[in-house]
Amino acid sequence: METITKIANWIWGPPMLILLVGGGIFLTIKLGFFQFRYLGFIFSQTLGKMFEKNTKGEGSITPFQALSSALASTIGGANIVGVPAAIAMGGPGAIFWMWVTAIVGQATKFTEATLGVAYREKNEEGEYVGGPYYYLKNGIKSNAGKVLGTMCAFFFMVEILASLPVQTQSITQTLSTIHIPPVVSALAVIVVVGIVVFGGVQRVGEVTEKLVPFMAVVYLILSLVIIFANASRIPEAFSLIFKGAFTAQAAVGGFAGAGIAQAIRWGSARGMYSNEAGMGSTSISHAAASTDHPARQGLWGVFEVFMDTIVICTMTGLVVITTGIWKEVSAQDAASAVARAFQSQFGQAFGGGILSVCILLFVLSTIIVMVFYCRKQAENLFGLSVGKVITFVCLGCILYGAFGKLDNMFAILDITLAAVILPNMIGLVMLSGKVKDLKNDFFSNPKFYPGAKK
C-alpha cells in the first residue's frame, strides 16, 4: 500500500496537472476564449433560464435537470473538506489557482457536455444515453476511439464501486453523532438510492432538481452570514489569496507555511477534483437533456463549473479565512475547519448540526448520481441486464461502507480516477475540432445567438 500511495501522489503531481490544466488551456485557445467573450450570454441562457420548463429539441430530461444531476455528483465533500485541505497544504493562495483551473476547466466541461449531446444514442428503453464511452467510440473514427471509450467506461465503473463505501462513511459518521447506528443509516441510504436509480434518468433528474438547489442555497446563505459577520476581514482575505498565489506564505498558528509550488499544486488539484472537468462524468447527465443544439447544453457545462468552484468553493474558502480558522488547524485536522467555523458563528450544537445536514444532503445526492453513472457504464460495456445487476452491487458497496475498513482507499481511488481522465482528455483533444465547429455553428446562427451577424 505504501507503493500504491507513492504512485498516486506522483500521478496527482505534475503529470495530472499538466494533463488537466494543459488540456484546459489548449481547449480554451482552440475555442477562441469563448468563456470570456460570451460570458453575459452564457449566464442569460443558464442562470436566466434555470427554471424554464418549455424546452426545445429532443431529450429525456430538461436542461436544468441535467445540470442538477451533474452538480449532484460534483457538489459534495470536496467543496466542504477539499477546500480547507488545499488551504492547509498550499495556503490561502491555493484559492487563486483553484479559480484559474476553474476558468480553463470551463472549456473542458463545455467540450464534454457538447460532445455528450452530439454523439448520444437511444437505449432499448427509449432513454437518451451518452458520455465519454459514446463520444470517444463514435467521434474518433478508428479502433483507438473504441479502446479509449472502453477504458473510460471500465475504469469509471471501478472507481465508483471503490468510492461508494467512502461516500457512505461520510453519511454514517455524520449521523452517528446523533446516535444513529451506521448499519441503520446505510440501509436508509440504500432504500432511497434504489428507489431513485431504478426509476431511470427521469427520476434521477426529478429528485436532483429539487435536492441540489435546496442544499446549495442553504449552504451558501449560512456561509454568507459567517462571511459578512466577519466583513472587516474580507479585504485581508482577498489580499492573502492574491499575495499567496505568487509569494511564499510563512507559518502561523497551526498552518505550517507554503511555497508558490504548493499553492499551485493543491489549488489546481482540488479545483479540478471538485468540478470533475476532465473526467467526462457529468456529460452522462448532460447527454440526456432536451436541447436544440449540442453547444447550447455545453453552456450549462460552463455554468456548472462556475457554480461548483467559483461560487461554492470560494464561499468555503472565505469562511475558513475570514474566521481565522485556517491559522488554527493543522493539515491533519483540515477536514474539521468548516465545522469549526460554523460552530464559532452559530454555536457548537446548531453550527455542527446544520453542517452535518448539509454534508448529508451533499453526499446523498452524490451517491444517487454515482450509482446512476455506474449503471450506465455497465450498460455501455455489457448491456441493460448487467446494468441492473451492477446497481445491486453498488447497493452492496453502500452497505459495506457502514462497517468495512477503508484504509488507504483514497490512494486506489486516485489511481483509478487518473485511469479515467487520461483516455478522456486524449479524446477531448482529438475531438476539439468537432467541438470548435459546433461552437462556431451555434454562435454564428441568429436562431441560437442573437448577436450573430445575419
Mean pLDDT of 143-162: 93
> Which residues on neighbouring strands pair with residue 121, listed in sequence order?
129
Contact between 289 and 113 (Cβ < 8 Å): no
The predicted pLDDT at position 98 comes to 92
pLDDT digits (tens, 9 = 90+) for 157-201: 998 998 888 888 877 876 776 778 888 888 999 999 998 888 877
Mean pLDDT of 339-349: 86
Mean pLDDT of 217-243: 94
Mean pLDDT of 354-362: 81
- Rounded to an integer, what distance in angstroms lies between the CA atom of residue 95 and that of residue 240? 10
Residue 28 CA from chain centroid, whole number: 19
The predicted pLDDT at position 294 comes to 95
The predicted pLDDT at position 406 comes to 62
The predicted pLDDT at position 408 comes to 63
292-296, 333-337, 387-391: the lowest-pLDDT one: 333-337
What is the value of pTM for the model shown? Answer: 0.89
Residue 153 CA from chain centroid, whole number: 17
58-67, 171-180, 268-277: the lowest-pLDDT one: 171-180
Contact between 270 and 86 (Cβ < 8 Å): yes
> Which residues on neighbouring strands pair with residue 72, listed in sequence order?
none
The predicted pLDDT at position 77 comes to 65
The listed CATH number (1.10.1200, 3.20.20, 1.10.4160, 1.10.10) that belongs to domain 2-49+62-443: 1.10.4160
Q: Tell me phi and psi for residue 48, to 5 degrees.
A: -70, -20
Q: What is the CA radius of gyration of the chain?
A: 21
The predicted pLDDT at position 438 comes to 97
Average pLDDT along the chain: 87
Domain boundaries, the chain: 2-49+62-443
The predicted pLDDT at position 82 comes to 79
